[in-house]
Amino acid sequence: MRWCLLLLPLAAQAAPPRLASTLDLPSWLSFSLEHRTRLEHLDDDPRAPTPSPRTAVSLRTLLAVELTPGPFRAALELADSRAWANDPALLNDRLVNPLEPLNARVGLALENLRLDLGRHTIDLATGDDDHTDGRSTRFDPLFAARRFEFGPTGLWGLLSRSNLVSPGARLSIQPAATVDASVVWRPSWLWSARDVWAATGLRGTNAAPFLGHHLEGRFRWTPADSVFTFDTGLALWLACPFAEATPSARAATSVYGYAQVTVVL
């Protein structure tokens, strides 16, 4: 097994004023722009028979605009995700999704009433008990953050809020206002053993609903008076009976490392 922990140079300088302040926008108009560049590497992907190792550079840009003149409301959030990878099979909608509207809505806010009309995104924890009955009761979220619960996304992203039971233990420390770190342990089971492990597409057996152990360590630094955040981490997946009972799964220990820089204007 080959693996590496990827690091970015931790260097930044004093930041210029935020973009909204620089543009001197009126109070009823807000504007934000965020960009993230991530370098990531994965050995022994549990989603066999995918090639190993896998390396990618992914770019994500988020744009949000909100107008609140008087009682009227309008908001637009756009996401643009692009990637370069050593394996062309990685360039699918898990990593690449150019210019997708996350939220687009208009509304009216009165003293005791608020009405919104448009597109919203939402997350919903279900599993499909019988994949042969022509009816799916599993909800797969298209968007929304799962990083804070289920570890890194991108090439990793082994866990999601779909057909999953996964308690966890987390230890977080913040030795300084600009630095935080955490370690996480999370064992995981299928909610319905007859349904798939949603993040991988693998289908197990009734006798092996226990997926494995997810271990993660993360370090994050946001320099004072800076628009930059630097983030690096390492994740391990310790396969259990599910992989042993599923011919298409990889039973080796999976190792993932990433480093990223995010700028928020």
Query: What pLDDT is attached to residue 179?
Result: 97
For all residues of the chain together, what is the average pLDDT? 83
DSSP string for residues in 111-138: SS-EEEEEE---------S-TTSS----
| pLDDT exceeds cutoff 50 at 184 | yes
Q: Where are the domains of the chain?
A: 19-264
pLDDT single digits (tens) 171-181: 999 999 999 99
Average pLDDT score over residue span 164-169 = 92
> Which range among 38-42, 97-101, 184-188, 205-209 shows the weakest confidence by mean pLDDT?
205-209
Largest Cα–Cα distance in the chain? Answer: 62
Does the 19-264 domain belong in CATH 2.40.160.100? yes
**Which two structure tokens, joined as six digits, stand for 50?**
């995918």
pLDDT digits (tens, 9 = 90+) for 1-43: 444 444 444 433 444 456 666 777 888 998 899 999 999 999 9
Kindly give the residue spans of alpha helices, DSSP state H, lying in 127-225.
147-150
- Alpha-carbon separation of residue 186 from 29, 156, 159, 200 (angstroms): 42, 15, 10, 17
Query: What are the tokens at 208?
Result: 């092996």
Instruction: Tell me 179's DSSP state.
Output: E
Span 96-123, average pLDDT: 85
At 227-249, the pLDDT tens digits run 999 999 999 999 888 887 887 78
